[in-house]
Amino acid sequence: MAHEAISVFDMFKIGVGPSSSHTLGPWRAAQYFVDGLFSRKQINMVEHLQVLLYGSLAKTGKGHGTDIAVIMGLCHQNPETIPVDTIQPRMDAIRDIKQIPVGGSSLISFDPEIDVQFLINESLPFHPNALQFLVTLEDGLQISETWYSIGGGFVIREGEQSLANAASAVQLPFPINTADELKHWCLKTGLAIHEVVLENENSFRTEQQTKQGILRIWETMRDCVFRGCHIEGVLPGGLNVNRRAAGLNKRLLGEKKYSGYEGWITQIREGGSDFKYILDWVSCFALAVNEENAAFGRVVTAPTNGAAGVIPAVLMYYIVFCDGYSDEKIINFLLTASEIGSIFKKGATISAAMGGCQAEIGVSSSMAAAALTESMGGTQKQALMAAEIAMEHHLGLTCDPIGGLVQVPCIERNTMGAIKAITASQLALQSMPDFGVVSLDKVIKTMWDTALDMNSKYKETADGGLAINIPISLADC
């Protein structure tokens, strides 16, 4: 079996909420489509442009802002750098004048209400998250391109077998598709998981660039946690969900004064190490990220947007309560986490449209569990065991977001994923993995089998579960 090279920066991508598959992926697909128009020198020849959304993108695309993401991509805006507070004014302007600057400058007629179509009764066979760009050029030439958003912000164009990034062509010193292969390289070289991953990352770029890039990922996660812990109010979308992280932050810190992130961390640490206190903080960190995500804020896929709070929450737990406060420790944590996510992506899926929420919260919990275990001094086998335990207890978890919004149950679910990761890590640290019954590879296969058996109404369609038992008409809100 060929080894696919997935980098830490494929697993952790800076973007905009609320969904990696329904927001970031379609945004990227639109960007790549426009790149093609540029490279074929067709960008100034576009006369008419339409976007068709299929399957899960059509069913829950409104709640996930898929139309907005596609339009921003067509305008050639970058989700990593766009000031998030400019998105709504840009959309308002496009709706008002019914024109879009394709590629950033070429203004053509475009009415989002008509030219982005949600085909809720149609699906394409390759993947439930499909979108099609239909363009007519001035000379009458018609272009049709189909893209698939396959989870975690990854996209592929129809007809292409591999991921739409250059990484798949890179030769790695330690090719890894499975947990057994990862274990093999660790045992053969004596390297820790994060060291094996770093060696592989050196095939993409210099070690210094990798470390700087990971710290940028961390800073984005950290800023997201901090912001989310200080913004009150109601989340957009019509469900009237109250943001809770800021209130919890206030209650936990009481009258304590601080300035900035560093001061905040110092005050949290001074609160002690009572079990319930720590539990509340882990929840608070996770809630903060996913409230930001639901509010179309800047987040990092980990491995997806819906599950973006688990890894930052567990990493914050490690930093604040377990003495993990150094750049090197943070880098190592994220390297190990990314490898586990990439093994899940290769052996199963990180797309809720394919595998339900086990593919999002389950995978993020597994990634966090392995990273925490190794960071706490566990062996490579214990880290893999922790990853296995975390997923074992997310098997079968369905995706049923109310109103198609990444809010309920998604935001709270991140707190659960984080706590399970910490429990799994602690269990593994107290265990002898050689006597474990279930391997990580077996649990990944089980997760995939479960995904195949899962009814499609539990796969990010909002057609089942909480989504239909809490019938809320967003139009009425």
- Shortest gap between Cβ of 279 and ligand SF4 (angstroms)? 21
Question: Which residues inside 393-432 make contact with ligand SF4, applying CB under 6 A?
Answer: 399, 401, 406, 409-410, 413
Nearer to ligand SF4, 34 or 57 (CB): 57
DSSP-derived secondary structure for 71-84: HHHHTT--TTTS-G
> Using the rule CB under 6 A, is 235 a contact of ligand SF4?
no
- Shortest gap between Cβ of 93 and ligand SF4 (angstroms)? 29
360, 374, 392, 463: which one binds ligand SF4 (CB under 6 A): 360
> Using the rule CB under 6 A, is 307 a contact of ligand SF4?
yes
248 Cβ contact list (under 8 Å, min separation 6)? 280, 283, 284, 287
Q: Which range, of 194-202, 259-267, 341-349, 353-361, touches ligand SF4 by CB under 6 A?
A: 353-361
- Shortest gap between Cβ of 10 and ligand SF4 (angstroms)? 19
Tell me the residue number closest to ligand SF4, measured at CB.
Answer: 306
Nearer to ligand SF4, 23 or 380 (CB): 23
Length of the chain as a residue count: 477
> Using the rule CB under 6 A, is 194 a contact of ligand SF4?
no
Cα dihedral: 171, 172, 178, 182 (round 10) = 170
- Contact yes or no for 224/300 (Cβ under 8 A): yes
Nearer to ligand SF4, 151 or 324 (CB): 151
Containing 384, the helix (H) or strand (E) segment is: helix 380-392
71, 197, 225, 361: which one binds ligand SF4 (CB under 6 A): 361
Residue keyed to tokens 């996930």? 64
Phi (first) and psi of residue 375, to 5 degrees:
-65, -30
Amino acid at 257: K
- Shortest gap between Cβ of 278 and ligand SF4 (angstroms)? 23
Cα dihedral: 93, 476, 412, 235 (round 10) = 40
Nearer to ligand SF4, 399 or 424 (CB): 399
Cα dihedral: 343, 344, 349, 355 (round 10) = 170
Please give the residue ranges that form the binding site for ligand SF4 (CB under 6 A): 306-307, 352, 357, 360-361, 399, 401, 406, 409-410, 413, 460
